[in-house]
Structure 1
Amino acid sequence: MKQVQFSAGTAGGKSSQTPRLQDDFYEAINADWLKTAKIPADRPATGGFQVLVENIEKTLMTDFAAMEAGDKKPDNSLLIEFLKYYQLAADFKQRDAAGAKPLQPYLKRLANIKSLADWQAQLKDWLLAGLPAPFDLDVDADMKNTKVNALFADAPGLFLPDKTYYAKDNQNGPQLMAVFKQMMQQLLTKVGYSKPDAQQILSQAIAFDAQLVSHVKSAEEAADYSKMYNPQSFAEFTSHSKEIDFASLIPALIGAKPEKIIVTQPKFFAAFDQLVTAENFPQLKSWLIVNIVRGLTGYLSNDLRITSGSYGRALSGSKEAMSQQKSAYYLAAGQFDQVVGDYYGRRYFGPKAKQDVHNMVVKMIAVYKKRLQQNDWLSANTRKQAIVKLEHLGIQVGYPDQIKPLFKQFKVDSNASLLVNALHFAHLTIVDRFSKWNQPVVRTEWEMSANTVNAYYHPFRNIIVFPAAILQAPFYSLKQSASANFGGIGAVIAHEVSHAFDNNGALFDEFGNLHNWWTESDTAHFKKLAQTMVTEFNGLPFAGSQVNGKLTVSENIADAGGLSCALEAAKSEKDVDLKAFFTNWAKIWRTKAQPEYLKLLLAIDVHAPAKLRANVQVQNLTDFYTTFNVKPGDKMYLAPEKRVNIW
């Protein structure tokens, strides 16, 4: 599944002196906040998005504590099961007493596997149990027939965040790998391996990880959706391995032999037979051990939980692990995400706000339609098809009408460990996912919970989704002016609409099918325009490094189109206040982040840093210059011929 999300990208905000807004709009608008804001010790950043996350966290934790105390009543059976799971997660007395014991059956199971053939014999049950493998099979909408779900095959993840970290000239790579080694050495010994065995397992696992690097995509390569669709026949795909019997495994998982498998990383599967071999099994087995221990120790004792998070904290720059109660909340809320989201949406998001936001979405789409009708660089046929796509755009606001049926299967066994319950739920989820193969796609199904501070566009379904959590100040409030709301949630809405026409979204038609509806000349012209956006951001200095314009181009196109469209909508209001519009745009991006987190996002995030999202996009709009009297010589001034306007 490919969601195109709105949030991410952060800014440091280290300036000690307030600049003129004509020289640094973001810093000037957010000056007071940047001077006083503090990053929580257990988080990598704070800011517009993060503060909302923290507030929702506090609200829901308070409500759930009241339910556990009997002061509030859960209003449905699904919420009761969530609370039981939350209680298991928060019972650190029991978790500490059990230590690593809940993990031992899975490590014993792996220890008894002596060869690749042994592993192959139980591979179906292994995958259905949610245990790691050096490949990934998933079910999602067929990108060229999105009415039906197809089988996808993908490569596994690496130990480091991206393949670029393994490059010889990347100084962060060796430092992070050292942290990873230290963490895994500690975890392996804590769960029962001797120090020599732990060292050998870790050495072999890292060797296998290193073999994967040259065959998997970087974040920049993965950002190109057109390269995801590589259908292979059943015979072609199953021939990729002499050792793994894909021809038997796949029908056992999905119940039939598929005509095709959509391969997202063909280069990886072309090399699969050289990576997964009988001779290489010791390294693969160690890789499996490391991934099992790394992935599951967060469900065990507090000591193991804290240790297993040390690598993540090094990546993000967070100074401390989350408290026990907070970590339990996030673990449980993550498992029961739609149940928690349903409670939040119905309890804290009223029908008046839902209707108001829906009306704003409809208005934004109408503005977009008008802009497409008046577009002067698309041919008539392409313009017509773009409008058809816009008219088919699905709108989802607040929270879904129904929770996924899967959650009705989640029954907590309070006598079993947290880990046993978690893996049981993982099994149910995986079985449910494979059961959807060759079944109709449910276009209206939500893939983000209502308590998530974000929004997304789904190109395979041509829908935009706005969870309740983001529909509050500073993004949106009935107490804010219409202009401020357009500079916040209005820009978010139009950003998601713009994703339907960014360099990736433009490849998909009104039904979400990967289908070229552009003329050849229009495609060529659009690519030139997209390149101007790449150029505008590429190489901009930030956090001791530079922005990758190609990695971030889709989000930058969406930001530009979204802000421009929201501006037009704001200007159509009688009481338009462009200062409020632009000011709120800068406010929603205010962020402080740890240096480590900034470096990580620059390497892997498809979003540009928040400060640059705030500053660069306004430089492309004439109304910004007239509203704030920005003139040549000011640092925010960009010559008209350099301003980028696509949608």
Structure 2
Amino acid sequence: MKRYFAVRGGVGDLTKPDVNARPQDNLYLAVNSAWQAQAEIPEDKVDAGINDELDTRIEKKLINDLNEILEQTVAVPKVPNFDKAVKLYQLAKDFTRRDKEAAEPIQEDLKALLSLKDFKELVELAGDLNNTYLTLPFSFSVEADMKNTKVNVLNFAGPGTFLPDTTSYEAEDATSLLEIYRKQTLHLLAMAGVAEDQVKTLIEAGFAFDKKLAKVVKSTEEWSDYPAAYNPVSYDKFVAKFESFPMASFLEEILPTSVERVIVQEPRFLDSAEELVNPDNFKELKGWMLIRFINGAAGLLSQEFREAAFPFAQALSGQPKLIPQERHAYYIANGSFSEVIGIYYGQKYFGQDAKADVTDMINKMIGVYEDRIANNTWLSDETKKKAIVKLRSLVLKIGYPEKNQAIYDLLEIDPNKSLYENETAMSKVMVKYQLDQLTKPVDRSVWLMPANMNNACYDPQRNDITFPAGILQAPFYDLHQSRGQNYGGIGATIAHEISHAFDNNGAKFDELGNMTNWWTDEDYAEFNRRTQAAIDLYDGLEYGPAKLNGRQIVAENIADLGGLTCAIQANKGDQGEMTDLFENYARSWAQKQRPEAIKTEVAVDVHAPQPTRVNIPSQCQPEFYETYQVTPEDGMWLEPEKRVTIW
């Protein structure tokens, strides 16, 4: 019998079905190969899988409901501001009008940008540019202070790059991808009435600016270190970094009050700010802004513009066809009114019985987690006590919020104006509202996810976990599933989110969400050793055409490991079938992706690809070996010393 010598993730290629696979050799393939063999990725999507099925189920319900409201077969629901979402959906769906308007809606902004003669004129217009589709190469946001989460502070960051990540510029296809984007940009501008010979050198300059940015902005791996984004700089030192750009007067124009300091999320970018934003670079700045503008606005114009703006996204995703107009219209409405639509979804489709059952399950999982911390063999009593205080302080947000945020009361839809004009007007209101939070205390009731989203999250600065109604459906959760199946689905997800309170980022925040050290030195050193073991366990793992970056995805992997461990313990307590748990856990991550989409996802996502989230966490569970009688001769065997247990 063949011995596999501790294969990380089991034997076999997760992207290729093997209907003869055994769970002892590859749990994911054993459970999902039959599905994978017959599954087809829709031409207007990048993948197929359980999560896509749930997303589609939610979208179809909401699109159908919006259409019925437009057809007046049902009344507009009595959810505050839902009528605005309906109006925006109607506007976005009216392609007869959008096709007729063509590029007309953007002409005023396009001409304003093209007419900029020098750096001085750009500076004079900067305050207005800050809140429109004419993007500046830096941004400000207001967020809770990581070290005092009762107050809001001003944050500063650089822009994104044209390619998905800074590491994408080192890939073999970087040149060809940028060429596709360049041709797409020139085509869009020509459609808007701007001849290629008028802007060709300007566009080349814009790409040169993007190349400079790629050397100084953060990579996804760097962004995954959440606490590293906290770099307080005094106001005087901050504005002094900008010698050419009048940052002091700019901040005075856009902020509701003065500030004493700025939290710099990207210190390297700030150190390079003067080299990037100066009169000598005006042409590059203007070209870069023009590229961002025309590509960003195209999706709000005609069908012809939508199609012309598709090649770059297509190259990154492998998706053969553009998404249909109706779904596109829904995405626009949901993008601006996500919380409003989410509350409607929660009220209509999420029952109180389900909420009570899920709440009970969450409390059980918290109890299991507390038991595991109390019996932890590598933590001191001092650290255990503080961890349990944090655990008991967790705030639960389940289903949907009771009310939507005040921002939605301020948004208006004018049916006499174009979709682009409405989106621009709302963007201005949203930017102002966000910056106005600088004078207000932190609102801890805010939900980070809308209720119609199939997802869940942990917020370290509020120490809360959110489980939207959208994820609370089969196979993750169903009142009619066995307890083992529910623990393998929503149970593991619940414990995953709890684990984020104690991952490599969450471990640096206390029960109030403040970044502070509550560990003993010895305990934290051991935690770091185990974290490094988790990094090593995933790093370099091949998935399709990509290799995983263990450091970039470590927080999510710690949560996956802890989530499955706790779900197993809870299932034991309820005497649930362990095969039900493992098989539903594997089923919940079933996914089939296009190769291009895999490459892009691995570059920009802090999660491991869905299929890879099944086998490695299972390989680290003693119960997996017991349930399937896995031996050293089997493909899923991992040497005991290589198995990672943190929580």
Band the TM-score falls in, shorter-chain normalisation: over 0.9
Question: SS state of the match for residue 215, structure 2?
Answer: helix
Shift of 1:199: 2.1
Consecutive unaligned residues in structure 1, runs of 5 or more? 1-10
Q: Give the distance between the partners of 1:190 and 1:166, measured in 2 at CA.
A: 29
After TM superposition, list the pairs within 5 Å mapping 1:238-317 onto structure 2. Answer: 238-317=239-318
After TM superposition, list the pairs within 5 Å mapping 1:481-492 onto structure 2. Answer: 481-492=482-493
Deviations 1:547-566 (A, max 9, x none): 11111111100000011011
RMSD of aligned residue pairs (Cα, Å)? 1.2
Q: Give the distance between the partners of 1:644 and 1:16, measured in 2 at CA.
A: 27
Q: Give the distance between the partners of 2:550 and 2:368, measured in 1 at CA.
A: 28
1:24 corresponds, among 14, 23, 26, to 26
Shift of 1:577: 0.5
Aligned length: 634
Aligned partner of 2:6 in structure 1 is none
Conservation of the 8 A alpha-carbon contact between 2:15 and 2:543:
no
Q: Give the distance between the partners of 1:495 and 1:133, measured in 2 at CA.
A: 37
1:70 corresponds, among 57, 72, 76, to 72
**TM-score normalized with structure 2 length:** 0.96
After TM superposition, list the pairs within 5 Å mapping 1:244-393 onto structure 2. Answer: 244-393=245-394
Question: SS state of the match for residue 128, structure 1?
Answer: coil
Aligned partner of 1:616 in structure 2 is 616
Question: SS state of the match for residue 638, structure 1?
Answer: coil
Deviations 1:169-206 (A, max 9, x none): x2021221122112112111111111212422321110
Q: Give the distance between the partners of 1:591 and 1:424, measured in 2 at CA.
A: 39
Q: Give the distance between the partners of 1:376 and 1:16, measured in 2 at CA.
A: 40
Aligned partner of 2:98 in structure 1 is 95
Aligned partner of 2:228 in structure 1 is 227
Q: Give the distance between the partners of 1:623 and 1:381, measured in 2 at CA.
A: 30
Aligned partner of 2:3 in structure 1 is none
Deviations 1:273-298 (A, max 9, x none): 01111011011011111111111111
Q: Give the distance between the partners of 2:308 and 2:480, measured in 1 at CA.
A: 45
Question: SS state of the match for residue 151, structure 2?
Answer: strand
After TM superposition, list the pairs within 5 Å mapping 1:105-184 onto structure 2. Answer: 105-129=108-132, 131-167=134-170, 170-184=171-185
Shift of 1:351: 0.8
Aligned partner of 2:404 in structure 1 is 403
Conservation of the 8 A alpha-carbon contact between 1:205 and 1:287:
yes
Q: Give the distance between the partners of 2:541 and 2:216, measured in 1 at CA.
A: 29
Conservation of the 8 A alpha-carbon contact between 1:486 and 1:569:
yes
Aligned partner of 1:494 in structure 2 is 495
Q: Give the distance between the partners of 1:430 and 1:343, measured in 2 at CA.
A: 25
Conservation of the 8 A alpha-carbon contact between 2:14 and 2:29:
no
Shift of 1:620: 0.4
Amino acid in structure 1 at the alignment position of 2:630: V
Q: Give the distance between the partners of 1:554 and 1:530, measured in 2 at CA.
A: 9
Shift of 1:12: 5.8
Conservation of the 8 A alpha-carbon contact between 2:19 and 2:29:
no
Shift of 1:522: 1.2
Question: SS state of the match for residue 238, structure 1?
Answer: helix
Question: SS state of the match for residue 279, structure 2?
Answer: coil
Question: SS state of the match for residue 151, structure 1?
Answer: strand
Amino acid in structure 2 at the alignment position of 1:89: A
Q: Give the distance between the partners of 1:452 and 1:141, measured in 2 at CA.
A: 24
Conservation of the 8 A alpha-carbon contact between 2:133 and 2:297:
no
Deviations 1:374-421 (A, max 9, x none): 111111211111111111111100001111111112221111101000
Shift of 1:16: 4.7
Q: Give the distance between the partners of 2:16 and 2:607, measured in 1 at CA.
A: 20
Amino acid in structure 2 at the alignment position of 1:562: G
Conservation of the 8 A alpha-carbon contact between 1:45 and 1:594:
yes
Conservation of the 8 A alpha-carbon contact between 1:490 and 1:566:
yes
Aligned partner of 2:593 in structure 1 is 593
Consecutive unaligned residues in structure 2, runs of 5 or more? 1-12
Q: Give the distance between the partners of 1:545 and 1:164, measured in 2 at CA.
A: 13
Identity of aligned residues (%): 40
Conservation of the 8 A alpha-carbon contact between 2:19 and 2:34:
no
Question: SS state of the match for residue 156, structure 2?
Answer: strand
Conservation of the 8 A alpha-carbon contact between 1:136 and 1:155:
yes
Question: SS state of the match for residue 627, structure 1?
Answer: helix
Q: Give the distance between the partners of 2:452 and 2:14, measured in 1 at CA.
A: 26
Shift of 1:17: 3.9
Shift of 1:52: 0.5
Aligned partner of 2:9 in structure 1 is none
Shift of 1:447: 2.0
Amino acid in structure 1 at the alignment position of 2:140: L
Q: Give the distance between the partners of 2:224 and 2:571, measured in 1 at CA.
A: 32
Question: SS state of the match for residue 398, structure 2?
Answer: strand
Amino acid in structure 1 at the alignment position of 2:556: E
Question: SS state of the match for residue 515, structure 1?
Answer: coil
Q: Give the distance between the partners of 1:17 and 1:348, measured in 2 at CA.
A: 36
